[in-house]
Structure 1
Amino acid sequence: MATDRRLYIGPRLRRLRRNLGLTQADMAGDLDVSPSYIALLERNNRPLTADLLVRLAQTYNVDMAALAGNAGADEAARLQAVLKDPLFADIDRAALEVSDVVTNHPGITEALLRLYTTYQEEQLALADRGAETGGPGGEGAEASDPVAESRRFLAARRNSFPTLDDAAERLAQAVSAHDNITGYLKARHDLRVRRLPSSVMVGSMRRLDRHRREILLDDALDGASQAFQLALQLAYLEMGAEIDAVLAAGSFASESGERLTRRALASYAGAALLMPYSAFARAVEARRYDVEALARQFGCSFEQTAHRLTTLQKPGQERVPFFFIRVDPAGNVSKRLDGAGFPFARHGGGCPLWSVHYAFRTPREIVTQWLELPDGQRFFSIARTVTAGGGAFGSPRVERAIALGCAAEHAHRLVYTQGQPGPDEAAATPIGVTCRLCQRTECSARSEPPIGRQILPDDIRRTSLPFGFSDT
């Protein structure tokens, strides 16, 4: 082989290194060159010399001709296959363009292939969800996931419904003339409230008995939960038209999705009755978003108050935009609301490094945390456990954790950041949305490899992390 031949084998060299389970620094040490030189070779910014080609073949026992010949053929073939997708059928491209991209821009090639892999996996996921209902993944997929359908409806409106807030505020004023909701229900609807043992309620927390003109409540509920159930019943009785008007603005593929959304809107209205927008918006500023203090002021639970904080985006009276998530000890998400632009994962679990997942270690204590996403966005989060049920001996108790957070730019308005470093100085925990979408390779908590990343073999080198990846 002529020694003056200019040989560019960047993608092939990268694949060799990955297959051997080596980093650029490892290979540089083996070949007695600098890591930066290996990086330049892999980006095709430098040609491979004959001397280094011989050292590669001897060091790693590979065939020299196979290494030097037809460089980039595999990447070119993969890219050609991608471009045959009907998605690109109308794009004119010259025959040599693919090989030019592969040879001169291996990083772009890798990015395109990884992106297409992600696209394919999403298409397969849609097809799988559609198969559950016999459809191809469109309407059938929507129908199979009413929870996601309801969440999308709320998220698209940032969980803010000013018409419900206005109606609830007017109703709250009418209720105040009768001292409380119980008095108003009796005066306006001739309904009295009775509290009965769980054994009599037979699995119901609240039931409207129209025949006896009674609202029955499980007496195992705490005071805040009883108040909310009465407010919820009143919302169904008097705000049905407003709730239906909001619901009519959506498009639902399933009856279950529509019913879940209607239930969420009724809960929104019930909370707005207990915490009327104007009064609550003034209080949050006065108390610097202290959730526990606000809960005491309005006679609500910690979770109810945190939930209400996500709704304060009424035009002209906006407050700090928050996101909210509720999880169980197994990491299952039972509720999430976003008014702060937080990129929740649509499927699967969240990041185990987020404090909401270890709030169970310190029950009822508020845990604060600065979070940093892979794209550099920073958020401030508080997390605490909450309990549902268990109001009487032997009754089931469910322990969950909730997190409430906002973008870093708003964090200074919260009492929880008082005396702490600002967002630029604070040490933030690097988290991802979910393992499959997080490209942080140096994470010991990772449970799955990220989409598009190739796992290194451990024949020669085993990393201390759950998975080993190439460093580029």
Structure 2
Amino acid sequence: MATERRLYVGPSLRRLRRERGLTQSDMAADLEVSPSYIALLERNHRPLTAELLLRLSQTYQLDMSTLAGDGGAEDRARLQGVLKDPLFADIDFQTLEAGDVATNFPGITEAFLRLYTAYQEEQLALADRGAGARPGAGGDSDPGDPVAESRRFLAARRNSFPLLDDAAERLAQAVAAHDTIAGYLKARHNLRARRVPPKVMVGSTRRLDWHRREILLDDELDGASQNFQLALQLAYLELKVEIDEALADGAFETESGERLTRMALAGYAAAALIMPYSAFARAVEARAYDVEALGRQFGASFEQTAHRLTTLQKPGQERVPFFFIRVDEAGNVSKRLDGAGFPFARHGGGCPLWNVHQAFRTPRQIVTQWLELPDGQRFFSIARTVTAGGGGYGRPRIERAIALGCAADHAHKLIYTQGQPAGAEIAATPIGVTCRLCQRTECTARSEPPIGRQILPDDIRRTTAPFGFSDS
């Protein structure tokens, strides 16, 4: 006679409780059990009985497979990913150890993952402070810099928030029954989307008017931007609990830093609603990461699609890890996301040899480039301009360039490298992180000398590079 398989659902049960905003006592009262029993279930110290599974399903209107599903697979995958950090390289982990820990000790697993994330944030903060920026000089390490706080929060988590992905995917299924986000907002919230001229919006692109039960949109936004704004409004209305939970994982010195991060998480949720994780992850492989084709399939802009590609790191369902940067014609960075280990310049300008700065010469055209850093790391990058601003005559339009890239090892999966030889066989453009940290002494594009090099006088000899350097 076959032995009945015991069902341990600790992480799933804890996630369900938090998504509903319940304490253990609240859930215990709903299910007519003791709070201590809920605690034991969440720690995987007790299996879930069939009777309680049925009661959970009826009480919270759940599909039973929601709880009986992964059995903590997400936590196992996250833990296994973290243990690959070079910090643990000298420790011999057995293949099954991480899985055993995640399954049998979910509380310890969550505590370890939180601690590791805090460590990552602190490492990023130390890198900022060690880069030599002066207070008030505009660098990321300025005391109380809200932009730096938000960037560190996102970078420490590789811009991946599975909780938001799961919630947005469920919401996308509900939206699909009403065909459009506008239709869902009308049916679920009695809010009508209305497009009005810019003079009515008075400097806004989206405004929620509770009195008239309307969401007003600037009618000069293109279709993808209007749809994103509706998705963003819906995220604020229905995914507040999940956004708050993701935000609670961080420690912010400034209120502005916390608000910027909340905005970033709401934007993440909106993109996940338009491009649900499972469907989008399948599509990126089917279309070989063709950003323009993916944008057409999901009704998103080039920038929205490129941004979404940086978030596909859900444990167990990872796709190519990308980095993303957005710059204006003056070289100012307005957005920066890293999921590919690219060493962005935290202070000063970027390397002028990177074609993201040259994309303005060929507006709306994708340009590709192989890159090699001074330490030998190789990356593949695509760059293209995008436009922000109004769509009417006389409206100010802002041109920016965005670059999306990945490590050379992953480049063969992209449509942009098809027909090319292997990355190691292709000549790459030698670039630096920033001039102050780049030791390529022969570079004629250099704007500053690197840290620690003695500059030679030029009264006898002038080098082709802007600076000549001593050999020692």
TM-score normalized with structure 2 length:
0.71
The 1:200–1:131 alpha-carbon spacing in structure 2 relative to 1, beyond 3 Å, is closer
What is the number of residues matched between the two proteins?
Answer: 345
Say if 2:255 is the partner of 1:249.
Answer: no
Looking at structure 1, the residues matched to 360 and 462 of structure 2 have their Cα atoms a distance apart, in angstroms, of 33
Residue of structure 1 in register with 2:402 after alignment:
402
Residue of structure 2 in register with 1:420 after alignment:
420
Matches within 5 A, 1:28-47: none
Residue 142 of structure 1 deviates from its aligned partner by: 3.6
Residue of structure 1 in register with 2:386 after alignment:
386
Looking at structure 2, the residues matched to 340 and 426 of structure 1 have their Cα atoms a distance apart, in angstroms, of 20
Looking at structure 2, the residues matched to 323 and 131 of structure 1 have their Cα atoms a distance apart, in angstroms, of 26
Amino acid in the other structure paired with 1:470: S
Give the number of the structure whose alpha-carbon radius of gyration is greater: 1
Residue of structure 1 in register with 2:85 after alignment:
none
Looking at structure 2, the residues matched to 433 and 421 of structure 1 have their Cα atoms a distance apart, in angstroms, of 26
Residue 131 of structure 1 deviates from its aligned partner by: 10
Say if 2:271 is the partner of 1:265.
Answer: no
Residue 321 of structure 1 deviates from its aligned partner by: 0.2
Amino acid in the other structure paired with 1:428: A
Amino acid in the other structure paired with 1:390: G
Residue of structure 2 in register with 1:374 after alignment:
374
> Conserved in 1, the CA contact under 8 Å of 2:131 and 2:347?
no
> Conserved in 2, the CA contact under 8 Å of 1:142 and 1:254?
no
Calculate percent identity across the aligned residue pairs.
Answer: 82
Amino acid in the other structure paired with 1:373: L
Looking at structure 1, the residues matched to 224 and 184 of structure 2 have their Cα atoms a distance apart, in angstroms, of 18
Looking at structure 1, the residues matched to 347 and 463 of structure 2 have their Cα atoms a distance apart, in angstroms, of 29
Residue 124 of structure 1 deviates from its aligned partner by: 9.5
Measured against aligned partners, the alpha-carbon deviations of 1:380-435 in whole angstroms (never above 9, x if no partner) come to: 00000000113011111000000000000000000000011211110100000011
Residue of structure 2 in register with 1:282 after alignment:
282
Residue of structure 1 in register with 2:135 after alignment:
129
Secondary structure, aligned partner of 2:402: strand
Amino acid in the other structure paired with 1:148: A
> Conserved in 2, the CA contact under 8 Å of 1:142 and 1:149?
no
Secondary structure, aligned partner of 2:259: helix
Residue of structure 2 in register with 1:196 after alignment:
196
Residue of structure 1 in register with 2:69 after alignment:
none
Secondary structure, aligned partner of 2:135: helix
Amino acid in the other structure paired with 1:371: L
Secondary structure, aligned partner of 2:151: helix
> Conserved in 2, the CA contact under 8 Å of 1:206 and 1:229?
yes
Say if 2:443 is the partner of 1:437.
Answer: no
**Residue segments in structure 1 that go unaligned for 5+ positions in a row:** 1-118
Secondary structure, aligned partner of 2:424: coil
> Conserved in 1, the CA contact under 8 Å of 2:131 and 2:346?
no
Residue of structure 1 in register with 2:151 after alignment:
151
Secondary structure, aligned partner of 2:304: helix
Residue 459 of structure 1 deviates from its aligned partner by: 1.7
Residue of structure 1 in register with 2:459 after alignment:
459
Secondary structure, aligned partner of 2:425: coil
RMSD of aligned alpha carbons: 1.8
**Residue segments in structure 2 that go unaligned for 5+ positions in a row:** 1-125
The 1:336–1:211 alpha-carbon spacing in structure 2 relative to 1, beyond 3 Å, is same
Matches within 5 A, 1:54-133: 125=132, 128-129=134-135
Residue 460 of structure 1 deviates from its aligned partner by: 1.6
> Conserved in 2, the CA contact under 8 Å of 1:356 and 1:383?
yes
> Conserved in 2, the CA contact under 8 Å of 1:372 and 1:428?
yes
> Conserved in 2, the CA contact under 8 Å of 1:142 and 1:253?
no
> Conserved in 1, the CA contact under 8 Å of 2:357 and 2:401?
yes
Measured against aligned partners, the alpha-carbon deviations of 1:138-185 in whole angstroms (never above 9, x if no partner) come to: 9xx441x11011000000000000000000000000000011101100
Looking at structure 2, the residues matched to 125 and 441 of structure 1 have their Cα atoms a distance apart, in angstroms, of 21
Residue 125 of structure 1 deviates from its aligned partner by: 4.4
Looking at structure 2, the residues matched to 427 and 371 of structure 1 have their Cα atoms a distance apart, in angstroms, of 9
Looking at structure 2, the residues matched to 158 and 124 of structure 1 have their Cα atoms a distance apart, in angstroms, of 21
Which runs of structure 1 show a deviation greater than 2 angstroms over 4 or more consecutive aligned residues? 121-126
Residue 300 of structure 1 deviates from its aligned partner by: 0.4
